[in-house]
């Protein structure tokens, strides 16, 4: 480090003066009340006030322009009939018509919302259960096997959503897919006529396997980190008291690392509500089969396939509000447990 | 933990079976993808666990007829631009929130946490219209700008932790040696947070590399497809050539997998606060 300090850029000499004035003159110079002291102090204050904002400015501008402003826009679009005309789009204010249409449509209540909610609940439940079981397993393994299993889990986590979904489609492909052939050989289905992707339940069952496969590693690794912080004495005391493994898990593990479970549950809920790609690239998921719409896909199809940007935006706003509500719970949880020192 | 476990043979068998089940569940899809990619009779392999042979035909096909080289290059360009911009912007922002105490600091952090929960489906409609107005559709630059924004919240949140672990005393020592703030940043802080910066940047790259919704919506000319969208084109309406699809999927997946396994350890607890999934 010293080397890097010595061999430096030409800017250093010029800047040194600046720092001396800004940071060090005041404490180095014991004489109080002189003019230079006051200027230096004022200057230091100013630097302390402006520097963090200067550092933050580029990132905040990008976030505001590309994440916050579009959110305002999508709210505005949801109150308009937006048409693409020659040379640009024209919006006509329609008030809450799109919301009224959306909230009174049978498709929303009979298909879109049930698909979204039941799918998310199934995914979260299975992800947490499997993740916790795997964490408990990893906790019992020796170093070598724990490393092997961790790498395997990371590989599942790293599988991109798009390619991961393709593999699951291929595995369940009618006729040729591995599971279609196995189920056909076992006499469970007729592989010539069965297509698992055309009906809602099998479609979402496959999507659930896909999302759980992609999502449980995060839970397993986070819960394992929590398990490692639990003092062994607690379990020894539990065993002396005659508690079996099941009781030790529910009476010791769960209460001790409850905050970890809360965080992984809420984060999984947020992620699983907004699953889009894994549904969209599945056969029929891109709009050709309305039975399998979830809220995200529904919004996308309305906007980009039917060119009804207003209606699509209204559905998108609904999804955003849902997620925002869960996010508020998440942030309150973080604060209450004081784990995140902001 | 071993001291607690009564190590009977039954327990050992149970443990072994659980490990085997875990390895099969996590790795089988990866194995099936790679083995199909090399299988000369990919489409008719059915339930044969081993491929019928090894061939590079599918890879050759996706490059020669599928234009996959262009798609991979597009993905690499977009990913590279995202890395550079996200690394610089997030490092500055992370230093601001980790090193300075200022008004609205907590509000800024909470805002960053909230914006990363926003669903992409809600952003894609207004951003599509915005980009069309600026004539940035079908442009790699337009796509990169979106990915920079998408990767920033997680990058800031994670880097914040890395900056905070650099002891303040090291910075103060630099000041005492007469260094200015920019000089201190360049010679002291940057080298110390470099490992974190690399790990975070790789995550920004993965975000851009994997992303589907925006690339699919924005890129309408097939010469501008990214790899993730490019594979989608190999799907037929009624029949799909699974050999080429799995070959291109392998090309997209393996770099990400290797990067991910390598950098994961470095990111540690930052993952708990950030949303890594797309």
Mean pLDDT of chain B: 86
Please state the domain extents for chain B. Answer: 9-55, 60-273
Kindly determine whether residue B253 and residue A309, on different chains, have CB atoms separated by under 8 Å.
Answer: no
> How far is it, in rounded angstroms, from Cα A172 to Cα A195?
9
Over residues B79-127, the pLDDT tens digits come to 999 999 999 999 999 999 998 888 889 899 888 888 888 899 899 999 9
Burial of B87 (0-12, 13-18, 19+ CB in 10 A): buried
8 Å CB contact between A319 and A270: no
Please state the domain extents for chain A. Answer: 2-65, 98-337
* Minimal CA separation from A33 to chain B, in Å: 23
Residue showing tokens 């986070």: A222
CATH 3.40.640.10 fits A98-337, yes or no: no
**Nearest CB to B120 within list A139, A154, A276:** A276
Kindly determine whether residue A317 and residue B90, on different chains, have CB atoms separated by under 8 Å.
Answer: no
* Minimal CA separation from A47 to chain B, in Å: 10
Largest CA distance in chain B: 72
8 Å CB contact between A293 and A107: yes
The torsion angles phi and psi of A91, rounded to 5 degrees, stand at -105, 135
Q: Give CA angle at B75 (B71, B78), nearest 5°.
A: 135
**Nearest CB to B228 within list A159, A160, A342:** A160
**pTM of the shown model:** 0.85
Class of domain B60-273: mainly alpha
Over residues B214-269, the pLDDT tens digits come to 999 999 888 899 999 998 878 765 678 899 999 999 999 988 988 888 887 666 54
Q: Give CA angle at B259 (B78, B71), nearest 5°.
A: 35
> How far is it, in rounded angstroms, from Cα B192 to Cα B167?
10
Query: CB atoms < 10 A from the CB of A85, how many?
Result: 7
Per-10-residue mean pLDDT of chain A, 342 residues long, equals 34 39 42 67 83 93 93 93 74 88 92 95 96 94 90 91 94 89 86 86 96 94 89 91 91 89 89 93 90 94 92 95 90 71 52
> How far is it, in rounded angstroms, from Cα A265 to Cα A247?
22
Instruction: Give the three-class secondary structure for A238.
Output: helix
| ipTM of the complex model | 0.88
Q: Give CA angle at A268 (A116, A248), nearest 5°.
A: 125
Kindly determine whether residue A281 and residue B212, on different chains, have CB atoms separated by under 8 Å.
Answer: yes
> How far is it, in rounded angstroms, from Cα A118 to Cα A129?
16
Query: What residues of chain A, 48 to 87, have a C-beta less than 8 Å from chain B?
Result: 48-49, 51-53, 55-56, 58-60, 62-63, 65-71, 73-74, 77, 82
């Amino acid at each position: 480090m010293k080397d890097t300090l010595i061999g430096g850029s030409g800017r250093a000499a010029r800047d040194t003066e600046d720092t001396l004035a800004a940071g060090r003159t005041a404490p180095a110079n014991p004489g109080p009340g002189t003019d230079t002291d006051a200027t230096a102090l004022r200057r230091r204050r100013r630097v302390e006030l402006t520097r963090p904002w200067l550092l933050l400015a580029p990132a905040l501008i990008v976030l505001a322009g590309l994440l916050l402003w579009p959110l305002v826009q999508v709210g505005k679009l949801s109150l308009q009939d937006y048409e693409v005309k020659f040379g640009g789009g024209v919006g006509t204010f329609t008030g809450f018509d799109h919301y009224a249409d959306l909230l009174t449509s049978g498709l929303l209540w009979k298909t879109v919302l049930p698909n979204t909610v039941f799918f998310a609940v199934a995914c979260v439940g299975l992800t947490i259960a499997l993740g916790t079981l795997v964490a408990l397993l990893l906790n019992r393994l020796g170093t070598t096997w724990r490393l092997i299993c961790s790498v395997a889990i990371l590989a599942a986590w790293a599988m991109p959503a798009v390619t991961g979904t393709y593999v699951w489609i291929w595995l369940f492909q009618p006729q040729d897919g591995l599971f279609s052939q196995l189920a056909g050989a076992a006499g469970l289905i007729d592989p010539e006529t069965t297509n698992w992707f055309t009906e809602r339940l099998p479609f979402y069952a496959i999507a659930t396997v896909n999302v759980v496969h992609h999502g449980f590693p995060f839970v397993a690794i986070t819960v394992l980190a929590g398990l490692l912080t639990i003092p062994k004495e607690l379990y020894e005391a539990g065993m002396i008291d005659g508690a079996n493994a099941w009781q030790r898990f529910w009476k010791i593990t769960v209460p001790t690392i409850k905050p970890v479970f809360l965080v992984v549950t809420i984060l999984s809920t947020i992620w699983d509500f907004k699953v889009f790609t894994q549904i969209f690239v599945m056969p029929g998921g891109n709009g050709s089969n309305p039975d399998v719409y979830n809220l995200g896909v529904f919004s996308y199809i309305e906007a980009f396939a039917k060119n009804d940007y207003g209606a699509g935006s209204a559905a998108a706003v609904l999804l955003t509000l849902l997620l925002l509500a869960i996010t508020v719970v998440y942030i309150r949880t973080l604060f209450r447990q004081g784990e995140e020192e902001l | 933990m071993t001291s607690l476990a009564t190590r009977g043979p039954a327990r050992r068998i149970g443990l072994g079976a659980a490990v085997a089940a875990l390895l099969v569940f996590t790795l089988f899809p990866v194995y099936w993808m790679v083995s199909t990619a090399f299988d000369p009779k990919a489409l008719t392999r059915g339930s044969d666990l081993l491929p019928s042979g090894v061939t590079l035909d599918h890879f050759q096909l996706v490059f020669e007829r599928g234009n996959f080289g262009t798609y991979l290059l597009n993905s690499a360009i977009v990913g590279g631009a995202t890395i550079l911009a996200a690394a610089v912007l997030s490092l500055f922002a992370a230093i601001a929130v980790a090193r300075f105490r200022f008004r609205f600091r907590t509000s800024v952090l909470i805002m960053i946490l909230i914006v990363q929960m926003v669903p992409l489906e809600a952003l894609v409609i207004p951003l599509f219209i915005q980009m069309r107005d600026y004539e940035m559709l079908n442009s790699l630059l337009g796509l990169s700008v979106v990915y920079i924004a998408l990767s920033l919240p997680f990058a800031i949140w994670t880097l914040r932790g890395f900056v905070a672990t650099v002891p303040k005393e090291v910075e103060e020592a630099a000041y005492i040696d007469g260094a200015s703030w920019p000089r201190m940043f360049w010679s002291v802080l940057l080298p110390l947070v470099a490992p974190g910066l690399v790990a975070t940047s790789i995550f920004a790259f993965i975000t851009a590399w994997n992303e589907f919704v925006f690339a699919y919506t924005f890129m309408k000319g097939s010469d501008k497809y990214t790899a993730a969208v490019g594979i989608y084109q190999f799907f037929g309406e009624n029949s799909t050539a699974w050999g080429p699809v799995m070959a291109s999927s392998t090309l997209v997946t393996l770099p990400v997998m290797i990067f991910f396994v390598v950098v994961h350890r470095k990111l540690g607890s930052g993952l708990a606060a950030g949303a890594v999934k797309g």
